[in-house]
Homo-oligomer: A and B are copies of this chain.
Amino acid sequence: MNKSPIGIFDSGIGGLTVVKEIRKSLPNEDIIYLGDTARLPYGTKSFDSIIQFSRENAKFLLKRVVKYIVIACYSSTSVALEILQKEFSVPIIGVIKPGAKKAMELTKNNKIGVIGTSLTIYSGSYEKAFQELNAKVEVLGRPCPLFMPLVEEGLLDHPATELIARMYLEPLKKDGIDTLLLGCTHYPLLLNMIKKVLGNINYVDASWELSQELTVLLNEKNLLNPTGKGNLTIYLTDFSMNFKEIAERFLNEPMKNFFRVAPESI
């Protein structure tokens, strides 16, 4: 057993959807969350910048003696996960592979759709994850850059959101996918709208899969905290207007311990 906290980082507050699932699966664990809101979004930055920011985020968490690092950001996982795994001795898990594994289990026709930011899709990280899993699947990627701002604006079931969802998703439907991977922290909030367009296929929200895999991994390595009520501490590199309201929408519980930490000091 190990009573140290789990460290989680994301480019912003969307990763709190991942925290929400981990809190459910591992209620005893202390969690330290770092949201790099001063430098979000990562999806429009260069690979070099994302690697540098991710390295700094990991170091910030390591200063707080975390036993495991979770990268809750799809862009960061796509570009920086393997590099950080080589550079640091603490175990690190990202959001891509647990989702890919689940999609592979669910698909019957081996046609899997993936939606995410442009960077997540163009980086080819899902194709790579399926290769590593030896999955013989066809991956149809579709960047959906407007989904994130639509969620942040709260237009979860607005007719404009439906038009945009149809624009992005109908080509995937036409192509006959039977499984869709939600490759961005914000997208679970659009699931009802996405289902309206794509109908009765399989949907994979990696937050849940990741929380399950993390439970297994912590258990294997004897790192679980068997007692206590886990505390959640949230650090953000910037506070913007309405951040608390939006954050609690993702987290689905009130935010209590949260602090601003200057990006140059992380």
How many chain-A residues does the 8 Å CB contact rule pick out? 31
Question: Is A49 on the interface with B (CB-CB < 8 A)?
Answer: yes
Binds B, one of A24-32, A93-101, A150-158: A150-158
Q: What string of 1s and 0s marks CB contacts (under 8 Å) between A33-56 and chain B? A: 000011110001110010000000
**A160-B149 in contact (CB<8A):** no
Please give, as numbers and ranges, the residues of chain B lying within 8 Å of A238 by CB-CB distance. Answer: 45-46, 49
Q: How far is the CB of A218 from chain B (nearest CB, A)?
A: 34
Q: Which residue of B lies closest to A118 (CB)?
A: B241
- How many monomers of this chain does the complex have? 2
Q: Are A240 and B149 in contact (CB under 8 A)?
A: no
Q: When each residue 145-168 of chain A gets 1 if its CB lies under 8 Å from chain B and 0 otherwise, what string results?
A: 110011011010011110110010
The interface residues of chain A, by DSSP majority, are classed as loop
Contact A46 B239 (CB under 8 A): yes
Q: CA A49 – CA B239 in complex, angstroms?
A: 10
**Complex CA–CA separation, A62 to B15 (angstroms):** 39
Partner of A122, one of B37, B45, B46, B241: B241
Task: Find residues 207-266 in chain A having any chain B CB closer than 8 Å to their own CB.
Answer: 238-242, 260
A selection of 12 A-B contacts at a CB cut-off of 8 Å is: A38-B49, A40-B44, A45-B238, A46-B239, A49-B238, A118-B242, A146-B149, A146-B150, A146-B155, A158-B163, A160-B161, A160-B163
With A46-B239, A119-B241, A163-B163 given, can you name 6 additional A-B contacts, CB distance below 8 Å?
Answer: A39-B39, A45-B238, A49-B238, A145-B149, A145-B152, A160-B163
